[in-house]
Amino acid sequence: MFAKILIANRGEIACRVAATARRLGVATVAVYSDADAHAAHVQACDQALHIGGAEAKDSYLQWQRIIDAARQTGAEAIHPGYGFLSENADFAQACADAGLVFIGPPPAAIRAMGLKAASKQLMGQAGVPLVPGYHGVDQDPTLLAREAEKIGYPVLIKASAGGGGKGMRLVRSADAFASALASCQREAQNSFGDAAVLIEKYVQRPRHIEMQVFADSQGHCIHLFERDCSVQRRHQKVLEEAPAPGMTDALRQRMGQAAVAAAQAVGYVGAGTVEFIVEQSERGMDFFFMEMNTRLQVEHPVTEAITGLDLVEWQLRVACGEPLPLAQDQVHIQGHAIEARICAENPERDFLPATGPLAVYRTPPAQLFTPGAVRIDSGVREGDTISPFYDPMIAKLIVHAPTRAAALAQLDKALAQLHIVGLSHNVGFLRHVVRSPSFANAVLDTALIERESAVLFGQTPVPAQVCAAFALAQHVHALALAEQPQAHAWVDPWGCRDAWAPNGVRRWQAQGEWQGQTMQVSSLGLPGQETQLRVQGAGVDWHGNWRWQASDAGLTVWLAGQRWTAQVHTLGGVMHVFTPEGAAAWCWIDPLAHQADAAATQGNLNAPMPGKVLSFAVQVGQLVSAGQALAVLEAMKMEHTIAAPIDGTVAELLYAPGDQVNEGAPLLRLEAAAA
């Protein structure tokens, strides 16, 4: 076994690799950028070296600095994690040239699988089923159009060097092919430096099922069963599970054999994933090779859960030259596992990435679950900040149970116990997906989110009156704690803010904001009677009896004969209410401050997400019309165009290209056109 390894990555995967290395007695070296000087992965390793600026191109993609860091610290091997340099054949070769072990496949295997078109030709020769399509080198537009006609519409145009959903277009008819091809080629060139494309049949109701493979340098190769990754947004995975629902033993065996054949065709060594697109029809499921990821996958924990294996340990042992620890017939499926990717993003705004502080980051308490039922892989801690420089994933929440139904229940319960305050996130959205009829009943395909949009977006599981009751209870409780007198001290009733009145009636009135709507809240306590609560606004007019009680575990509210429990976290005047049913936010409104804020932002166009200003498409004094592009922002691998909401004149540009901006920051000032 290695004495010391360098982990050429950051975040949760760097922490994950470090944990296994520590268990095996292997020392670890972290590398970090300017933005990650105090990151969790730096603390998780035995040593840490600074390698450059905040942007990945200035640090985590600077492979010579990483190799120099390994030499400087005496590391024998480099683990690339996933992303960054993990599938870079030149980096793998540079490691070998420097006398370092690259904990991954040989450079030749990475190159063979790096280009979609070339890899599919190779897989066809190895007898692996392929989606009908064109994977040739001739990129003449006329030829490509003819090939699309042969395949039959609808077809997918895909960047040959692509990934992550970039450089992909669905074309449903011949008259739309030329424009879609040009657009796809431009995006492929800009994203990957290669405009080459391939064309494939568009599979109806497709599922995304992948096989985990492992090979050693002695020529042994096995599969560790499948994962279903069909739940996606923007062609990026949201939920993954193992085993795949509806998978038969016969189909599993066929897919496993195809995956092993794919790995052996390129002389693979180490952990890899062979991804298949699966077509569902009345006759069953047919599978076709899609691509091979020559690295450890984000979703590898679900495979670990159902097999009881540590895949990072296997990576280290294979990289040391050891044979695979087990043969194919020694690996068995145990129960069902599901992984949810917890991301800093806003699902209600087309999953725009978000940045900001993790002011509250509370993970599910272990005592609420069976040992081993819930796992959190995370590279952040409460108080850390999600920056705009890297992927927006906060953590991975993995559950394991004897059956899929039990795993679903565990996942929903664990998501309810995951409290995040300080930035937008997808926890509530994930709960909606888990509870949706399609996912709950395993009616899966890659269009699930789009198909179930009515039940996934715009939902408010916590009623306004419940949220108002908890916010009021928390507010009164906080005031009481702040004004708690010392023992035997006299308290002036006129100086307290507990709604005390000399006639015994306690009355409290205020305005609040809930789900973007203004609400009126009043509480009236009469001598000898229960306190009355009334909530009005946004189509709600509710009143009923209520009482509450605070404890170390949170708040309990009895409301109109029902009992509700919650934890409330306050940040910046906003009260974030977490109940078993869902979460919501309540903000008490200061009318004067509210009006001042509105006046201050009038005429400004604000950044919808934190990021970097790439460019302005207008100049000061320029007349613009509604819908016209004004600026382009970049954050977390995404570009977003800011458009004019009204006709007007550009009065001022408040930033310059290259500047970093926070969410909500005004980018420019626009004066409305005269009526």
Distances from the Cα of 650 to the Cαs of 357, 369, 614, 629, 646, in angstroms? 32, 57, 18, 12, 11
pLDDT at 267: 95
What's the gap between Cα 499 and its chain centre?
Answer: 44
Task: Give the 3-state secondary structure of residue 168.
Answer: strand
- Which DSSP letter does residue 516 get? T
Domain 602-672 has CATH 3.30.450.40: no
Q: In this structure, what token pair is assigned to residue 410?
A: 């565990």
Helix %, strand %, coil % for the chain, to 5? 30, 35, 35
CATH for 4-103 is 3.40.50.20
pLDDT at 503: 58
Q: Where are the domains of the chain?
A: 4-103, 132-201, 207-230+245-456, 464-589, 602-672
Q: Cβ(378)–Cβ(39) under 8 Å?
A: no
Q: 592: which residues sit within 8 A by CB, 6+ positions away?
A: none
- Closest by CA position to 631, among listed 665, 607, 603: 607
Q: What is the pLDDT of residue 598?
A: 44
Stretches where the chain sits below pLDDT 70 are 163-165, 480, 482-506, 526-529, 590-604, 635-639, 675
| pLDDT for res 595 | 44
Beta partners for 652?
669
Q: Which two tokens stand for residue 392?
A: 């927006």
pLDDT at site 597: 44
* Helix (H/G/I), strand (E/B), else coil: 577: strand
Kindly give the pairing relationship between strand 77-79 and strand 4-7: parallel
Examine domains 4-103 and 132-201 and report if their fold is the same.
Answer: no
Question: Which residue from 565, 638, 184 is spatially nearest to 391, judged by alpha carbons?
Answer: 638
C-alpha pair distances (Å), 316 with each of 312, 540, 645, 669: 6, 59, 55, 55
What kind of fold does domain 464-589 have according to CATH?
Glycoprotein, Type 4 Pilin (3.30.700)
pLDDT at position 516 is 83
Report pLDDT for 495. Answer: 55
Cis check for the bond before 243: say yes or no (omega within 30 of 0).
Answer: yes
Q: Is 295 a catalytic residue?
A: yes
* Contacts with 405 (C-beta within 8 Å, 6 or more apart), sequence order: none
> Tokens 């691509």, residue?
291
Query: What CATH number is given for 207-230+245-456 in this structure?
Result: 3.30.470.20
Point out the catalytic residue in the list 295, 317, 375, 431.
Answer: 295
CATH fold of the domain at 132-201:
Dna Ligase; domain 1 (3.30.1490)
CA dist., res. 434 & res. 16, Å (int): 26
